[in-house]
Amino acid sequence: MTKMEQKGRKPSNAPQERDDGGLDDNVVRIYRCATVVKGGRRFSFAALVVVGDRKGKVGIGYGKAPEVPMAVEKARKLATRNLTQIGLLGGTLPHRVLGRFGAAQVVMLPASPGTGVIAGASVRSVLELAGVNDCLTKSYGSRNPKNLVRATFEALTSMRAPSDVAELRGVSLAR
């Protein structure tokens, strides 16, 4: 036993227990903003973070603070608060879906097993943390990561399960 363990403290390299229920997170982008004041420039930071359990729950958060770690933590808390359940079909999407936010459009298509997630970095982080393993995507318009992440999230939340659509139409899924 080390001296730190005897005093009841853990060494800094020990694995930390997670109190967030096994959620993973990904910092998509850090933004630096400067305001000019009398003495020079004052910098602040913003962080875009995606949180998910890789089993169908995903959330996004955008936090601002004077320091990077504070901004990331604030964005992580907002993302955990905005967690939403996504209806997936195995490891892929149930149908083709289009998401729009601002000037960004994201088209997502289901893919056969083994294809992987074919997407850019911003869209990929949302899809992987949502639990999508096989998907084809194409983005149109704005390439701004904020807009792409929000468009992807909007597309995922707008998906419907085949059983729900069949019930609305009054038909059965039996072939």
Alpha helices (H) along 82-172: 121-130, 145-158, 162-169
- CATH 3.30.230.10 domain span(s) along the chain: 87-166
Assess contact for 99 and 122: CB atoms under 8 A.
Answer: no
Q: How many CA atoms lie within 13 A of 46 on its CB side?
A: 10
Kindly report the length of the chain. Answer: 175
State if pTM tops 0.85.
no
- CATH 3.30.160.20 domain span(s) along the chain: 21-81
Burial label, 133 (beta-carbon count in 10 A; 0-12, 13-18, 19+) = middle
**So what's the architecture of 21-81 in CATH?**
2-Layer Sandwich (3.30)
The whole-number pLDDT of residue 14 equals 36
Mean pLDDT for the chain overall: 87
DSSP bridge partners of 105: 100, 140
Q: How open is the CA angle 129-130-136, to the nearest 5 degrees?
A: 100
Q: What is the pLDDT of residues 13-66, one digit of tens each?
A: 333 344 567 899 999 999 999 999 999 999 999 999 999 999 999 999 999 999
**So what's the architecture of 87-166 in CATH?**
2-Layer Sandwich (3.30)
Q: What is the pLDDT of residues 104-149, one digit of tens each?
A: 999 999 999 999 999 999 999 999 999 999 999 999 999 999 999 9
